Amino acid sequence: MTRLTPLHPADLQAGLAAGHYRIVDVRERDEFARVHIADAISLPLSGWDRAPFDPASGRQPVFMCRSGARTAGACDRLAARVSGDAFVLEGGLDAWLRAGLPVVRDRKAPIELMRQVQIAAGTLILLGVLLGWIVAPIWFGLAAFVGAGLVFAGVTGFCGMARLLLHAPWNRRPAV
């Protein structure tokens, strides 16, 4: 079975310039849309087993995520689809950025959906607690409701708040 070899950002950049590597970004599409390394392909882990995968012929795949944690956790799944040498960007996009290497940014793209959920849930919980102390204890129920929703999302994989946020105006794609 193929093993994923860690690759330092500077080594990846040199290999990209020489045409040796093809970057496979396993972050979700909304994360990729906001910032990614030029010429990377987006193949999110959430659909990895169903997605066709064929890095450009003659180039070795380099898998990457935001920090390296997702690729580390999915090494076996990623390596199973590769015959030959394959690599993982050590430290992910965060390390690439720390090294001062170039990226493609779309500041008009909305922030990642999970960050939106974290912001909304955290705000609602904080609001429920503050209103519970200041106005009436019944407001603690708001914090409890959102907390229960987060537990439900973690257990089932279904996040109702994420589904709602997908329909927010800032998350809608303009008609082409």
Residues acting as catalytic residues:
65
Would you tell me how many other CB atoms lie within 10 Å of the CB of residue 39?
11
Of how many residues is the chain composed?
A: 176
Using the structure block, give the residue that is written with the tokens 């996040």.
Answer: 159
Smallest Cα–Cα separation from 116: which of 168, 155, 156, 64?
168
Task: Check: CB of residue 88 under 8 Å from CB of residue 4.
Answer: yes
Per-residue DSSP letter, 86? E
Smallest Cα–Cα separation from 162: which of 149, 147, 143, 145?
149
